[in-house]
């Protein structure tokens, strides 16, 4: 049975998901096709990784004080040394591609320079690493109940506090994890 294309959807980690790397993860699917899927965790800030410091480490001068405070996110366990910028707007950068009408992913340094100067990028998240699935792997995990699916929205993707995103995504599709818990006898 083929599943719908889940590009521009969230994967909500089920409480029973056995992989600790994805415990209570909310993953935004950037690409889903016959070859597999690529997504970014969007609810796990790296407390020690401020965007401003990461940019300065790349010898990019930061003139926007807000950028100094912004937290980078753990995008997933694959290639944590690679940064992915998830952002609103159009795919106008050297290595951008559009995910939806108003969400793009970019991996080139040109966008980092604009972020550092506070120019031309609306909402953004800098994610280090990504999550990926091989051919039919995500479909198998969905069939086994590891993930729930929720349509993506910009508010949840960019404006909701990180620690609330997993639960709010579940709320959007009417799932109450307190009732799904495999932990019997605990309220």
| Confidence (pLDDT) at 121 | 83
Domain span at 84: 9-180
The answer to whether position 83 is within a domain reads yes
Q: Rounded to whole angstroms, what are the CA distances from 161 to 30, 41, 115?
A: 21, 14, 20
Classify residue 1: in a domain, yes or no: no
pLDDT in tens, 144-171: 999 999 999 999 999 999 999 999 999 9
Is 187 inside any structural domain?
no
- Name the band, by pLDDT with cuts 50, 70 and 90, for residue 6: very high
CB atoms within 10 A of CB 12: 26
**φ/ψ of residue 111, rounded to 5:** -70, -30
Percent of the chain with pLDDT over 90: 75
The answer to whether position 21 is within a domain reads yes
**Domain CATH code at residue 112:** 3.40.1740.10
**Confidence at residue 4, expressed as pLDDT on a 0 to 100 scale:** 82
């Amino acid at each position: 049975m083929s599943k719908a294309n889940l590009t521009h959807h969230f994967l909500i980690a089920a409480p029973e998901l056995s992989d600790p790397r994805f415990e209570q993860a909310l993953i935004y699917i950037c690409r889903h096709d016959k070859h597999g899927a690529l997504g970014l965790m969007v609810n796990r800030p790296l407390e020690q990784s401020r965007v401003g410091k990461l940019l300065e480490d790349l010898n990019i001068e930061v003139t926007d004080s807000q950028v100094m405070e912004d937290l980078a996110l753990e995008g997933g366990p694959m290639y944590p040394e690679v940064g992915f910028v998830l952002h609103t707007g159009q795919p106008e950068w050297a290595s951008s591609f559009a995910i939806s009408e108003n969400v793009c992913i970019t991996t080139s340094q040109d966008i980092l320079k604009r972020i550092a100067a506070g120019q031309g990028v609306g909402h953004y998240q800098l994610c280090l690493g990504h999550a990926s699935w091989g051919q039919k792997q995500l479909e198998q995990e969905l069939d086994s109940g590891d993930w729930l699916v929720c349509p993506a929205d910009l508010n949840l993707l960019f404006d909701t506090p990180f620690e609330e995103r997993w639960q709010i995504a579940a709320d959007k599709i009417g799932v109450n994890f307190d009732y799904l818990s495999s932990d019997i006898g605990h309220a």
